């Protein structure tokens, strides 16, 4: 039993340090406003990980306002209910919204509401005077983005232009299709607009909450990968740059605590739901499940010989540049694999643990063989399958134009 516990020492260290990194993040707090049925839950579940609208803990804080959160996700959502009811109820909701905003602001940056998403169904093609009033008053308190859900066809486009022409004191209007919309058995309109929402949100929220927002969002996996890469390269440069003293091969295990910190921070940036078994599979791929001592031996016997010009094992030392190559290979391959896992998790696809280990080992070895020629500017998302990422604008326009042609054809047939 002791050996089994020992095998998970390094894995548990990564999990513990990941949890520590998450606790350091300033959570991002978003208010989601809109009538029942406009697609708020669909929006939440597609923008943020963990299906928060379904699996998050929803705690009523007022009669018409609930607070949604989940352990391990540095995000709090405030969801309104009842805006489609009578004017009296709408006034109650408005008072509850402003009371919550004011009270939370008193509690500081970690509790104040940073942003409001005001959701309107684009197909309704109408916005009521009471909504315009609420949006204007709300924007005096916090930044507001109007989100037009289910934005298909010319009416939705015209509706967006109409709202923009009102010159409301908001940050922007974004047309969104939160998830794929099936038109026929043969044709569907892909999701769009979510990346634009992520970009606008990150421009608005305070700097302190941006790491948490990137952790919680599941739309832009490339953004997560690039953030992880930037942090990792900076950490490696600091750890193994000027001032790093060469260490004997026999003491290679001293590198492991640094690498544990590195992997934990990268895991926290990605914010994917990895348990001990998943981490164990990834770490096992580079021989590290037995803790620092075994990982050190593995570096001596297997890793060093893969690096061009690293020298021999006997009597040799690990220089700062060699240590940096090893750790860069580890971090970059780890980021690539996490990006693939994150893209799959977004679509409800969870890779087999054996496949994860094989993939991690292959990528780690490939990067080691590049030695000092590792391209630090490489786009780490090139291995992601395209179907796991949102379509680019050109493809989106292609599908929308195809959709318009299809609907026109149907209309002409019906008219005849």
**Tell me, what's the pLDDT at 51?**
87
**What local confidence, expressed as pLDDT, does residue 364 receive?**
84
pLDDT of 251 strictly over 70: no
Rounded to 5°, angle at Cα 192 from 116 and 268: 65
Least confident of 36-40, 60-64, 286-290: 286-290
Q: Interhelix angle for 320-346 vs 276-284, to 10°?
A: 140
Residue of higher predicted confidence among 166 and 53: 166
Query: Would you say residue 211 lies in a domain?
Result: no
Q: Is residue 253 part of a domain?
A: yes
Same domain, yes or no, for 225 and 345?
A: yes
Mean pLDDT is highest, among 360-364, 392-396, 398-402, for 360-364
Q: In angstroms, rounded to a whole number, what is the distance separating the alpha carbons of residues 344 and 352? A: 11
β 115-121/28-34 pair status: parallel
Using 50, 70 and 90 to split pLDDT, how confident is the model at 389?
very low
Same domain, 49 and 132: yes
Q: What is the pTM of this model?
A: 0.83
In this prediction, residue 272 carries a pLDDT of 82
Instruction: Determine the average pLDDT of the residues in 7-35.
Output: 88
Higher model confidence: residue 30 or residue 273?
30
Total count of domains within the chain = 2
Render pLDDT for 397-412 as a digit per residue (tens, 0 to 9). 554 554 455 545 544 5
Q: Give me the pLDDT at residue 256, please.
A: 76
**Residue 257 pLDDT exceeds 60:** yes
Q: Are residues 123 and 258 in the same domain?
A: no
Claim to verify: residue 243 and residue 328 sit in the same structural domain:
yes
**Would residue 411 count as lying in a domain?**
no
Residues 6+ positions from 99 with CB-CB distance below 8 Å: 62
Return the higher-pLDDT residue of 350 and 334.
334
Tens-place pLDDT, residues 193-218:
999 999 999 999 999 999 999 999 99
What residues make up the domain containing 199?
Answer: 27-205
Residue 260 lies in a domain: yes
pLDDT in tens, 51-102: 888 877 788 888 889 999 999 999 999 999 888 878 888 899 999 999 999 9
Looking at the fold, whether 184 and 309 belong to one and the same domain comes out as no
The answer to whether residues 196 and 249 belong to one domain is: no
**Of 158, 180, 205, which residue sits at a domain end?**
205
pLDDT of residue 317: 67
Would you state the pLDDT for residue 216?
96
Do 371 and 234 sit in the same domain of this protein? Answer: yes
Please report the pLDDT score of residue 371 as a whole number: 62
Q: For residue 105, what is the domain's CATH number?
A: 3.40.50.300
Q: Is residue 161 part of a domain?
A: yes
**Could you tell me if 133 and 165 lie in one domain?**
yes
Residues 174 and 261 in one domain: no
pLDDT score recorded for residue 253:
67
Q: What is the pLDDT of residue 2?
A: 40
Residue 395, domain member (yes or no): no
> Is 397 within a domain?
no
Mean pLDDT of the 38-49 span: 94
Residue 228 has pLDDT above 90, yes or no: yes
What pLDDT was estimated at residue 267? 93
Is 50 exceeded by the pLDDT of residue 385?
Answer: no
Of the residues 205, 240, 267, the one at which a domain ends: 205
Looking at the structure, do residues 114 and 248 belong to the same domain, yes or no?
A: no
The structure tokens 């959709």 sit at 403
Q: What is the pLDDT of residue 84?
A: 84
Helical axes 129-139 vs 87-106, angle rounded to 10°: 10
Mean pLDDT on 269-277: 82
- Give a yes or no: residue 405 inside a domain: no
| Tens digits of residue pLDDT in 99-120 | 999 999 999 999 999 999 999 9
Start-to-end CA span in the chain (Å):
78
**Same domain, residue pair 262 and 132:** no
Mean pLDDT of the chain: 81
> Are 181 and 250 within one domain?
no
């Amino acid at each position: 039993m002791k050996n089994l516990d020992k095998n998970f020492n390094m894995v548990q260290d990564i999990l513990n340090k990941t949890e520590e990194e998450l606790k350091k993040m300033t959570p991002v707090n978003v208010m989601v406003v809109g009538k029942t049925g406009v697609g708020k839950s669909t929006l939440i579940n597609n923008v943020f990980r963990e299906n928060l609208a379904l699996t998050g803990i929803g705690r009523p804080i007022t009669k018409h306002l609930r607070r949604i959160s989940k352990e391990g996700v540095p995000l709090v959502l405030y969801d309104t209910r009842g805006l489609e009811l009578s004017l009296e109820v709408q006034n109650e909701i408005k008072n509850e919204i402003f009371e919550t905003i004011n009270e939370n602001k008193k509690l500081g940056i970690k509790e104040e509401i940073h942003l409001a998403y005001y959701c309107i169904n684009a197909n309704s093609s109408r916005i009521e005077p009471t909504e315009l009033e609420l949006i204007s008053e709300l924007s005096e308190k916090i930044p507001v983005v109007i989100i037009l859900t289910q934005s298909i066809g010319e009416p939705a486009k015209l509706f967006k232009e109409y709202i923009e022409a009102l010159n409301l004191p908001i940050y922007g209007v974004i047309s969104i299709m939160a998830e794929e919309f099936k038109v026929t058995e043969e044709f569907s309109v892909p999701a769009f607009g979510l990346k634009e929402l992520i970009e606008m949100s990150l421009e608005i929220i305070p700097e302190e909450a941006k790491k948490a927002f990137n952790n919680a969002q599941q739309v832009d996996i490339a953004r997560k990968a690039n953030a992880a890469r930037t942090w990792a390269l900076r950490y490696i440069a600091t750890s193994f740059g000027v001032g790093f003293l060469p260490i004997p091969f026999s003491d290679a295990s001293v590198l492991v605590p640094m690498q544990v910190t590195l992997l934990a921070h990268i895991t926290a940036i990605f914010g994917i739901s990895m348990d001990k078994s998943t981490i164990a599979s990834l770490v096992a791929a580079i021989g590290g499940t037995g803790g620092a001592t075994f990982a050190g031996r593995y570096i001596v016997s297997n890793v060093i010989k893969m690096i061009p010009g690293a020298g021999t094992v006997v009597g040799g030392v690990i220089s700062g540049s060699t240590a940096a190559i090893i750790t860069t290979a580890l971090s970059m391959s780890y980021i690539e694999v996490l990006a693939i896992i994150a893209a799959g998790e977004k679509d409800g696809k969870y890779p087999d643990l054996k496949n994860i280990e094989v993939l991690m080992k292959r990528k780690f070895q490939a990067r080691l063989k590049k030695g000092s020629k590792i391209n630090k500017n490489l786009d780490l998302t090139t291995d992601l399958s395209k179907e796991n990422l949102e379509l680019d604008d050109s493809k989106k326009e292609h599908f929308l134009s195809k959709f318009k042609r299809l609907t026109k054809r149907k209309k002409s047939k019906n008219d005849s």
